[in-house]
Amino acid sequence: MTGFQHAIIGCGRVAPNHVDGFARVPGWSVAAACDREAHVTAFAAEHGIPRTARDPQELFADPGVTSVSIAVDHAQHGPLVERALRAGKHVLVEKPICLDPAEARRLTALAAQHGLVLAVVAQHRYDPLVLAVRRWVADGELGRLVFGAVQLKARRPADYYTGSYWRGTVAGEGGSALVNQGYHALDAIHWICGDVTVAGALAGRRVLGDVIETEDTLSGLLSAGGTPVTLNVTVGSSEEWRSRIELVGDLGWIVFDLDHPGRVHDWGGSARLDSLAGAERDRSLAEEPPGPAYYGTSHRRLIADFCRSVATGEPMLSAAGDAVATLDTIVELYERAQAGSAPAPD
């Protein structure tokens, strides 16, 4: 792979993970950083990026730019992805792909029609532990699954929202605890178990009622291929970040955290599962994360796969269509929660 030039649109919290990922792929470079705000200059200087732009159109119009990351507020994902694809750029967009499932389907079809790679960042799909658990489930190491429990406890103080132009707003974020922070835990269930449908949901503002117009807490009941899975996500906990998944089958069970470096906490069952889970527990993942620790290090793995796909035309391990399924579930959880009764603030 040689001479591929990538541009990053949106130089906020997650952007360093994109710089880090592309800088590691031989033959690729981050050629431009774009942000509509003036801090793009400092961001580019800090990360050694040679060119800056304030308007994404400048980069879309440049034939030298191979691909773009889109790392802005959720509401702009759809329109920017579409403009980038129509300009012939391969696109890596942060989760969620956009806020409207019909638009998401149009975007994946547009990418296919133009022969371009469209990938959605759900980096935990590439975590070694998540891939191992996914394999164990597929290989029947847990037997027949009887239930799953997924949760994300996060703490987001008021100024996280009041200091942002988009967070905590329906128009900009499209939701909060689920579509933003809880996305990864839900997406992991899609990836590990597949075939997710929604049986019910409740959502509300338990602690941030004066600050945000979106939900700070959501609970859902899902079916993953017939297995009941409970989902609890909140940005109102006292713990900064903890995403935990428990899967229980008739031959074994496992409890693990997604959070870097991915921890197996408990398991039981066959001697084989014991040996597999024990090896995962002892695996060393001593890589230094480029951003907040709970973002992990798998942007690197996902970006390497994106670059491979652009260069070879081969599909990625996880395609944009997978992200559409996760978006379908998110939208349905919100619809169910809106139809049901929401937990009232204390």
Ligand X SMILES: NC(=O)c1ccc[n+]([C@@H]2O[C@H](COP(=O)([O-])OP(=O)(O)OC[C@H]3O[C@@H](n4cnc5c(N)ncnc54)[C@H](O)[C@@H]3O)[C@@H](O)[C@H]2O)c1
Among 36, 83, 155, 263, binds ligand X (CB under 6 A): 36
Four-residue CA torsion sign, 287, 288, 291, 294: positive
Whole-number Å distance between alpha carbons of 76 and 54: 15
Query: Binding string to ligand X for residues 123 to 162, with x set by CB under 6 A, is what?
Result: x---------------------------------------
Of 25 and 121, the one with the shorter C-beta distance to ligand X is 121
Among 5, 6, 8, 9, binds ligand X (CB under 6 A): 9
Residue 69, interface with ligand X (CB under 6 A)? Answer: no
Q: Peptide bond preceding 315: is omega within 30 degrees of 0, i.e. cis?
A: no
Of 194 and 292, the one with the shorter C-beta distance to ligand X is 292
Residue 121, interface with ligand X (CB under 6 A)? Answer: yes
Whole-number Å distance between alpha carbons of 231 and 210: 25
Residue 242, interface with ligand X (CB under 6 A)? Answer: no
Among 191, 253, 295, 306, binds ligand X (CB under 6 A): 295
Residue 83: exposure state from Cβ atoms within 10 A (0-12, 13-18, ≥19): middle
Residue 35, interface with ligand X (CB under 6 A)? Answer: yes
Of 34 and 81, the one with the shorter C-beta distance to ligand X is 34
Q: In what order do the strands lie in the sheet with 67-70?
A: 51-53, 28-34, 4-9, 67-70, 90-94, 118-121
Beta carbons within 10 angstroms of residue 52's beta carbon: 18
Question: 150: closest CA among 241, 226, 237, 220?
Answer: 220
DSSP class per residue in 147-180: EEEEEEEEE--HHHHHT-SSTT-TTTTS-SIIII
**CB within 8 A of 2, min separation 6: which ones?**
27
Residue 13, interface with ligand X (CB under 6 A)? Answer: yes
> At closest approach, how far in Å is the CB of 154 from ligand X?
11
Residues 40 and 54 sit within 8 Å (Cβ to Cβ): yes
Q: Are strands 253-257 and 263-268 parallel, antiparallel or unpaired?
A: antiparallel
Among 25, 68, 94, 218, binds ligand X (CB under 6 A): 94
Residue 300, interface with ligand X (CB under 6 A)? Answer: no
Options 29-37, 189-197, 235-243, 251-259: segment touching ligand X (CB under 6 A): 29-37
Residue 76, interface with ligand X (CB under 6 A)? Answer: yes
Residue 164, interface with ligand X (CB under 6 A)? Answer: yes
Look up residue 200 and give its two tokens. 């019910």
- Residues in contact with ligand X, counted by CB under 6 A, come to a total of 24
> At closest approach, how far in Å is the CB of 257 from ligand X?
15
Q: Which of residues 172-201 bind ligand X (CB under 6 A)?
A: 180
> At closest approach, how far in Å is the CB of 182 from ligand X?
11
> At closest approach, how far in Å is the CB of 128 from ligand X?
17
Q: Reduce the secondary structure of 258-274 to three states and give it as a string.
A: CCCCCEEEEEECCHHHH
Under the rule (CB under 6 A), what is the footprint of ligand X?
Answer: 9-15, 34-37, 56, 71-74, 76, 94-95, 121, 123, 164, 180, 295
